[in-house]
Structure 1
Amino acid sequence: MTSTEGSDCLFCKIVAGEVPADIVGESPSAIAFRDIAPKAPVHVLVVPREHHGDVSALAASAPNLLADLVEMADEVATDLSDGQYRMIFNVGPKAGQTVFHVHAHVLSGTQLGGF
């Protein structure tokens, strides 16, 4: 799917520049922006420019794009912190996914607790 197929999708609107975001990284295939409700000093969302519902759908249809997201997550964590980070993908509402456009949460900048 392309970002135009997610016309009601918040992240598609951010990608299209229709909704403002504090963008901290961009590539031809993805963007990274600060989470509006951060859970750590560095809390960035990394999203593909194309609309995919969740990380499983992305891995099945575009594994190279998933690799791009992981690469951007590492770059952002290195640029904004010490390069040590937690990356989380939520899949489904029971797991906490509230925007159904795949996104990686990148958390860093402090000692993160265990699960």
Structure 2
Amino acid sequence: MSVDCIFCKIVNGAIPSKKIYEDEDIIAFHDINPSAKVHFLLVPKLHVESLANCDSQHQALLGKLLLLAPKIAKEQGLAGFKTLINTGREGGQEVFHLHVHVLGGGEKQRKTLA
């Protein structure tokens, strides 16, 4: 756990989330700023900064993350979906705790200010 990491705080219950799945290794919850009608995150409970920081000791965890994506996507009503792992600042990563975005159901209509 990292004391300053927002996802670690969600994992330990210090910050609430709209949780849709949890086991001993992974938590899944709805994104607070969704980019699609269905947009949830799969987050390992183990704090790993990014995919670039993973090695062979993380192989089982990475496999579990990817195998959970279609299972939870189906439970959320998705017939098809997109997965995304942003890696590093240049790769669009904003929270430096490994996580997988799962998106589907079409783009969410964003409100614009006129």
8 A contact 1:42–1:80 mirrored in 2: yes
Where does the alignment leave 5 or more consecutive residues of structure 2 unmatched? 108-114
Distance in structure 1 (CA, Å) of the matches to 2:50 and 2:69: 16
Give, in angstroms, the shift of residue 82 of structure 1. 2.6
Percentage identity across paired residues of the two chains:
37
CA RMSD of aligned residues (A): 1.4
- Map Cα deviations across residues 65-92 of structure 1 (whole Å, 9 max, x no partner): 0111112212111100234110000001
Higher-strand-fraction structure: 2
> What amino acid maps onto 1:43 in structure 2?
H
Query: 69, 81, 101: which one pairs with 1:105?
Result: 101
8 A contact 1:59–1:66 mirrored in 2: no
Distance in structure 2 (CA, Å) of the matches to 1:47 and 1:56: 15
Question: Scaled by the length of structure 2, what TM-score is found?
Answer: 0.87
Question: Scaled by the length of structure 1, what TM-score is found?
Answer: 0.86
Say whether 1:18 aligns with 2:14: yes
Distance in structure 2 (CA, Å) of the matches to 1:40 and 1:54: 23
Higher Cα Rg: structure 1 or 2?
2
- The count of aligned residue pairs is 107
Where does the alignment leave 5 or more consecutive residues of structure 1 unmatched? none
Say whether 1:61 aligns with 2:57: yes
> What amino acid maps onto 2:66 in structure 1?
V
Helix, strand or coil at the partner of 2:106: coil
Give, in angstroms, the shift of residue 60 of structure 1. 4.0
Helix, strand or coil at the partner of 1:77: helix
Distance in structure 2 (CA, Å) of the matches to 1:79 and 1:11: 23
> What amino acid maps onto 2:97 in structure 1?
H
Give, in angstroms, the shift of residue 59 of structure 1. 4.4
